[in-house]
Amino acid sequence: MQSAAWPISNSDNKSTKTPVDRISIRSFASTGMSSTEATGPTTWTEGREEAIRKCVLPLSFESHKGSSGRVGVLGGSPKYTGAPYYAAMASLHVGSDLAYVFCAQEAALAIKCYSPELMVAP
């Protein structure tokens, strides 16, 4: 197998062309650094836990299905059923208890087949 030539920088910060036989991909865990340390702080990483705790309320023993919110998604057509499905599923993943999809009659069966967690109303 013939190796390709890729520009890589050497210690003098000059770009040279060196044959590369293989590319090694390592996780941040193998370097001993977190991804935040490797890339530096960003707007999202600074204070992320505190922001999430302010948005997500603690669960209560008195809570019941629907007390954490209900979401209704209006959309879909016979050809395009994915967008309302993904929007409703995203609402469930971020903490909503109930997700309703209001769609065209022709799209209802397809969306119902995607997930039993959604309530589909044609």
pLDDT per residue rounded down to tens, the chain (122 residues)? 444 444 444 444 444 444 444 444 455 555 555 555 545 555 556 677 777 777 766 777 888 777 888 999 999 999 999 999 999 999 999 888 999 999 999 999 999 999 999 999 99
Q: Are 97 and 72 in contact (CB under 8 A)?
A: no
Q: What is the pLDDT of residue 102?
A: 96
Q: What is the pLDDT of residue 29?
A: 56
Q: What is the pLDDT of residue 35?
A: 52
Rounded to two decimals, the pTM is 0.53
Closest CA to 73 of 42, 96, 43: 96
Residue ranges of the domains in the chain? 27-59+67-121
Q: What is the pLDDT of residue 83?
A: 95
Q: What is the pLDDT of residue 6?
A: 44
Q: What is the pLDDT of residue 66?
A: 77
- Residues 8, 10, 13: CA angle, nearest 5 degrees: 100
Q: What is the pLDDT of residue 48?
A: 73
